[in-house]
Structure 1
Amino acid sequence: MKVINGNIASPLGFSADGLHAGFKKKKMDFGWIVSEVPASVAGVYTTNKVVAAPLLVTKEAVEKSQKMRAVVVNSGCANSCTGQQGLEDAYTMQQWTADKLGVEPETVAVASTGVIGELMPMDTLKKGLSKLVVNGNADDFSKAILTTDTDIKTVAVTEMFGRDEVTMAGVAKGSGMIHPNMATMLAFITCDAVISSEALQLALSKTVEKTFNQITVDGDTSTNDMVLVLSNGCTLNKEIVPDTADFEKFTAMLNFVMQDLAKKIARDGEGATKLIEVNVVNAPNEEDARMMAKSVVGSSLVKTAIFGEDPNWGRILAAVGYAGVDVPVEHIDIKLGDLPVMLDSTPVSFDEEEMADVMQADQVTITVDLHAGEALGQAWGCDLSYDYVKINALYRT
């Protein structure tokens, strides 16, 4: 697999565009991804019981058509908790996009992010849609989907399948209201491989548990979280089917793209100063390992200790203990970076200056060794800073 300098339109047959329509005061806030041919599609959606109107419309479209021609996204208005009018507006957003592209409405996905509880400004939507173009500026799409993010989040890779080069690209937004549970923000992945929607869904479902479901910023699961994967077959490779070496290779590509985006989201958490990576190793099974890793990275006490550059391993051990996993804890090792702070469930001394270097880094890695198996679980998050409170206390103002 090769990482390339690309964007969401790098795979064959895809284009994208983004612009400022007026959902927000100044920044780009509206865009689309377009496939020149019907693309296989797979999706995962928020597990919040309160589901925003765009997700309802998109999920229905994916289930009905099993193909997708476009994804249209606005930022600044979530169109969530907006009742029947919000649902009608989401359908209108879908229909207007379909009309402009000359495609069936059920082949158009819609997504929205921003403030909850405000109706979609339809005049703004219509104006923005009139300006979007096919084969526009794909980098602008990456900017148009952002809310409180400080930077765009993109990745692109290629892989050989026989003599055919397949390209896969991803873009995401996510900074606050990020917590692992099914899907954790808005993420869109494009690919030019020949693969069915059913196989694509299988690959996505296998991969999301190890990637997007393993990040947390603040413990909040949004009403608008969604991940969509589109693959349009423009490479004309031999069809990728489950239970084959090619399917495993494709899944590895997807895992790389999703993990890269997940880590970028965690690093860009609202007010974040550090990325936290937790590795639980030598666990009895992967599920237990992932649950423990999520417990540690999601602990507010761990997150604040990392912000304060305090090697408070007791908070880490406590989070391991309340993860709800029945595993032996009598022989645990804990490391911060490469420095042990606990061996065989017993505290050990460490050099304070060396530890200061570990804690002051942009990424702090926590390793928990259970000595109880061979499984690995990883999770990613960020520290919890004063700025997180400022950003969310003043979100609407």
Structure 2
Amino acid sequence: MIYFDNSATTKPFEEVMTAYQKAAIQFFANPSSLHYLGSDAERLLMRTRQAVAEQLRIETEEVVFTSGGTEGNNLAIKGIAFQHQTRGKHLITSSVEHPSVLEVFKELEQNGFEVSYASVDHSGKVDPEEIKSLIRKDTILISIMSVNNELGTIQPIEEIGDIAGMYPKVFFHVDHVQGIGKVPLSLKKAKVDLCSISGHKIHGLKGTGILYVRKGVLLSPLFHGGGHESNRRSGTENLPGMVAFAKALRKIKEKEKKQLNELIHLRHHLINHLNVMEEVIINSPLSGAPHIINVSVPGIKPEVMIHALAKKDIFVSAKSACSSKQPDVSSVLKACNLKENVTKSAIRISLSYSSTIEEADLFLEEFNSAIRYLEKGR
């Protein structure tokens, strides 16, 4: 099997599964319980939060455990909007964000907020100067992803952070779900106020993640109840999931440090060979994230190509997994002003640190064969 759909989800590390099982069995008690079993669970929770903070080089109290990227994005955006709406109701994002961001802004627009959508160039990149031009006296939030989930485009987060930092009323949120462990980002240096990260994109478990909330930033919670996570996310803590997330984060950071250049080389190897296929159009920028390549084969529907490759035990995807069952056109590629035949035929190849040159070469061979076969059937 060749699994090149790692931007949709990743296979959990064995160490992550072991850590989850151990925590679930040995520390099953509620961390809020007063007996010693609860105290043991609470101490593990504190150590886990500290471990995550150390990996991200942030403070322990700035870690809010969530169920993943979607909740993190919702909590960050709605939390800022509702908490600070008396200071302004204008928000800024881009036209190529993940559905868990764009759909939140659409809902906020229905609740009296005004949203400005920054445009992107043909590679899906925003212009920091346009972001700056959109800021108004009533702007309270800028939300820009670090790495586009379809194209792999790396956004100029530090430049945007510098701009946001010039306006005391403006908070800066970054969806770092596709970037974590592959595209280095210093949250402090980039002046990020809130940052969403998901566990299942880094070989952790589905239903796990964190939201970084800079010290001093106030949020209106999505969930009300017992006041867990410093009143920012009520609900009994998913301690085994938290432990699994911390383990996955440590492992992916180790691999980023040791294997990032290998991953970059593998992506370039694929791009170089895809470039010589006349039928293939490469949509991703050459300078994109090291794990994502978006290509189009005009005239061949993505789902047809995906099924053809799956018969060979090769797995890729079309668009974001969260919107793959929506109409054919990729809204991200459409926002890049690419031709309709390109936006309707896009395939996403997404790698991991376990992907190999041998897998890449076999994929290229079968991809080329599938193109030939499907073109004959047209």
Same fold judged by TM-score > 0.5? no
Higher helix share: 2
Higher RCO (C-alpha 8 Å, min separation 6):
2
Give the structure-2-normalised TM-score.
0.22
Give the structure-1-normalised TM-score.
0.21
Higher strand share: 1
